[in-house]
Structure 1
Amino acid sequence: MALKDQKAALRKRLMVKAANITEHVLRLPAYQNAKAVAIFLSMPGREASTRDIVLNALDSGKAVFVPYLHAGETPKSKVMDMLQLQDKDDFHSLCPDAWGIPSLSKDSVERRRNALGGIGISNHNSGYQQDPPSLDLMFMPAVAFDQSHRRLGHGKGFYDRYLSKYKDTLSGSQSGRPMPLLVGIALREQILPPGETIPADEHDWTVDQIVVADTE
């Protein structure tokens, strides 16, 4: 098979798997009942697309938050925030980054609602006390998951640090809200077989459940 045909076949398989994952997600009671969800925007060709989940959530009137990476306290450090998409037009207007992932523009972030509370990125955000965190559900990517729902990320620790910060902010708000349900999204080949485990320490967060494409 020619390389062009192999790539076309791979794209078709990923589209089928993405549709399968979307069907599973839309049937989740936690998703159906959620008012605010955070979800990663997928890397083309490497991850099952989350596009249709995002569009369904926006159509359903849910508040949808997506990742935004920005400079941290030191020049080389990066911080992840979850900032709100306004609507489907806003989503369709996102431009791909160097990895092809749809990304929020820098000039738009200061007017976006932050899932931690307030408006804009957390470095400049003083609205936490008036607007406490309110996520019901977070969809998380991974390189792999094991049978105990441990997650192997890309090695940057963005999600683990974000969830720890979210927990601290939630505790400080005294709102009484629980942490969001954490749901991993994976292709079948990203699930380790029984007996193989992902090393983890006290800083690593496990997901509550995993949605897996059950079709080849």
Structure 2
Amino acid sequence: MNRAQIRELVRKKRNSLTKKQQQEAENALNLNLIQQLKHYKNAKIALYLTNDGELGTNKLIQSLRTLNHQVYLPVIHPFSAGYLLFQLHEENSPMSTNRYGIFEPKLNCSQICPIEQLDILFTPLVAFDAQGNRLGMGGGFYDRTLAKYYQEQWQKPIVIGLAHECQKVDHVPTEAWDIPLKWIATPEFNYRW
């Protein structure tokens, strides 16, 4: 299958999950990751708000705040097309809808965290394989934003893909610009390479 076919197939799979299955998956992911991240104190952690059947992150966001971590959400960069910024998000932060219909914090430059100062960055994905290859929605936002991080082999942030187990495929065809992941978390497993 090519990339477009994989995207279509896997998006159908994850969108066919019932509300109950989605909630159970979100709860299980939260328990899995809180255990994995328990040694972090006052960390700067970037997440995303769930869209298009993605694995839910609201419970994890609440848990991280309860543990005194700072939560950052992606904002489409206003000047560098195709890139993301990560902005502090608190419970009462003003939000807006971006051009893709996804909620993001209203841009406040004083609350942006440079990527290299984040401790952990959770990334959404459409599909992944056993080699850590990630297939996104096709816009390339995370690949472009993380390119310098991978080229220079920064020590942080730790980049973790989040997915339902049904998003795992046998093989993700890759392109030169694709950024592989060393850790993908599902509600059931932690895949690390």
TM-score w.r.t. length of structure 2: 0.77
For residues 150 and 184 of structure 2, the distance between their equivalents in structure 1, rounded to whole angstroms, comes to 21
For residues 49 and 100 of structure 1, the distance between their equivalents in structure 2, rounded to whole angstroms, comes to 17
Distance 1:151 1:167, change over 3 A: closer
- Return the letter of the residue paired with 1:143: V
Structure 2: give runs of 5+ residues left out of the alignment.
1-14
For residues 150 and 135 of structure 2, the distance between their equivalents in structure 1, rounded to whole angstroms, comes to 20
Equivalent runs, 1:91-130 vs 2, <5 Å: 93-95=94-96, 101-106=102-107, 109-116=108-115
Higher relative contact order (CA 8 A, sep 6+): 2
Aligned counterpart for 2:54 among listed residues 36, 41, 47: 47
- Return the letter of the residue paired with 1:210: I
Which residue of structure 2 lines up, in the alignment, with residue 205 of structure 1?
179
For residues 30 and 138 of structure 2, the distance between their equivalents in structure 1, rounded to whole angstroms, comes to 26
After TM superposition, which residue ranges in structure 1, 4 or more long, deviate above 4 angstroms?
95-100
* Matched-pair contact (CA < 8 Å) for 2:48–2:57: yes
Which residue of structure 1 lines up, in the alignment, with residue 130 of structure 2?
147
> In the TM superposition, what whole-angstrom CA distance separates every residue of 1:156-195 from its partner, at most 9, and x where no partner exists?
1111111124457xx6xxxx96132111111111011xxx
Distance 1:98 1:161, change over 3 A: closer
Structure 1 position 97, deviation (Å): 5.2
Percent of aligned pairs sharing the same letter: 21
Distance 1:101 1:207, change over 3 A: same
For residues 152 and 40 of structure 1, the distance between their equivalents in structure 2, rounded to whole angstroms, comes to 16
Q: Specify the structure having the higher radius of gyration (Cα).
A: 1
Structure 1 position 72, deviation (Å): 3.5
Counterpart check, 1:23 vs 2:26: no
Which residue of structure 2 lines up, in the alignment, with residue 37 of structure 1?
45
Distance 1:80 1:151, change over 3 A: same
Counterpart check, 1:185 vs 2:162: yes
Cα RMSD after superposing both structures: 2.7
For residues 78 and 91 of structure 2, the distance between their equivalents in structure 1, rounded to whole angstroms, comes to 27
Distance 1:98 1:12, change over 3 A: farther
For residues 32 and 188 of structure 1, the distance between their equivalents in structure 2, rounded to whole angstroms, comes to 26
Equivalent runs, 1:71-82 vs 2, <5 Å: 71-73=78-80, 77-82=81-86
Structure 1 position 79, deviation (Å): 2.4
* Matched-pair contact (CA < 8 Å) for 2:83–2:142: no
Distance 1:67 1:181, change over 3 A: same
Which residue of structure 2 lines up, in the alignment, with residue 62 of structure 1?
69
- Return the letter of the residue paired with 1:88: E
Structure 1 position 10, deviation (Å): 1.4
Aligned counterpart for 1:10 among listed residues 15, 18, 24: 18
> In the TM superposition, what whole-angstrom CA distance separates every residue of 1:133-167 from its partner, at most 9, and x where no partner exists?
32221111111010111000011111111112445
For residues 154 and 17 of structure 1, the distance between their equivalents in structure 2, rounded to whole angstroms, comes to 21
Structure 1 position 71, deviation (Å): 3.5
